[in-house]
Amino acid sequence: MTSALTAPGGAWAGSLPAATPAVQPLPGGLDELLTRQVPALVATRRHIHAHPELSGAEFETTALVHRRLTELGLRPRLLPKRNGVICDIGAGDGPLVAFRADLDALPLADDKDVDYRSTVPGVCHACGHDAHTTILLGLAPLLARLAEQGGLPGRVRLIFQPAEEVVPSGAPEVIEAGGLDGVSSIFAVHCAPQLPVGSVGVRTGPLTAASATLEVRLGGPGGHTARPHLTTDLVDLLGRVAVDLPAQLARRMDPRWPVSVVWGAIHAGVASNAIPSEGYLRGTVRSLHREAWQDAGEIIAKLVPDLVSGTGAEVEVAYLRGFPPVVNDKYATDVISAAAARALGHENVFEAEISMGGEDFSYYLEQVPGSMIRLGVAPPGATAQCDTHQPGFDIDERSIEYGVRVLAHTALAALDAPPPGSGATGGGR
């Protein structure tokens, strides 16, 4: 594994990774099949991008996925709310390997000047879920072909999950619907604009942080700014909480479990000469450690009243846990790393940086071994980086073919070498 090379400012600059003798073909003529379907996959991704759906409302995207899988002769089943799909490929008693894609878009405007720009005002696929979905749709015919040829040493489950971007999210719904029943390992890719197209980032252990949302509301008698002594000066108090809470929380937490508190909104009042009677702070709490994620809410609920004690302010604290951290299993990461090297060449497999973002793929990893990797989507020569969750986010669409190729190699490797202690045995090819 090599380290990612970056240009000044963190943006990658270079050319498309060239094929090397280390790149291995897929069996059964699958490379030719994949090459033929690439234009259709790009068209599918653009259609999904142009017709995004918010979390929990992914009905048309689900219908498209269900239709495409059915056309392959597969038997996909809808989730209970009919906004997600689970589809098994292959048969027999061999191991069962799962792959997950997320379907939902974000409540953001699409600022790109492209033909496939979002047609839904205020909704945009700004996190790459359209690409994730398309990659699994591209994987399905390859595995179906291999199963028909008798070359699939086990079964593969494709999970098209709703509501990754919200809390509560869709992963627990999938698990409740039996999405992990019998699964020996699970894998996923996530678009990474920090990496060049044709490369991936892999990491054992923590990949993303546990997350929570925090809201602090203060109330009290307002009044004229000429007489603050007759009021509870909430603007001053909110400013103190905004500055002091992160620092004081760090003193109350186990130093082995650092926590990040970042405010995203602060509001109180509208007039320059009137002290308001209510105001609020909203932000996020993040940690790479599950213990900190579990303990921080209780500590914050006690800490905020202490910070405003004696002022007469009324206090309300709401701490809503989001997702646990994504912690990649070593076995699974070794499998997908080796598969990516076969698909793209060893020189294009980088060590991924830890992200403080949240990802509900973590719920699956608490049940079975698995690994999420970063899929490079930055175009060659890129000098400016448009991150995910930004209105201008887009991908180099060649990443779709690379993603399919990596997951196809991963499926075969994971079926041949199931996790130790899983009770499954590989079929041997």
Binding residue ranges: 127, 129, 165, 190, 389
Comparing CA positions, the residue from 330, 331, 327 lying closest to residue 419 is: 331
Q: Residue 387 and residue 124: Cα distance in Å, rounded?
A: 14
Cross-strand pairs, 88: 157
How much is the CA Rg of the chain, to the nearest whole Å? Answer: 24
Exposed, middle or buried, 357 (CB in 10 Å: 0-12/13-18/19+)? Answer: middle
Q: Would you call 96 helix, strand, or coil by DSSP? A: strand
Binding residue ranges for Mn(2+): 127, 129, 165, 190, 389
- What beta strand segments (E) does 235-388 contain? 260-268, 274-275, 278-287, 314-321, 327-328, 349-351, 370-378
Q: Residue 233 and residue 242: Cα distance in Å, rounded?
A: 14
> Residue-wise over 145-174: b if at least 16 C-beta within 10 A, else e?
bbbeeebbbbbbbbbbbbbbbbeebbbebb
Cross-strand pairs, 398: none
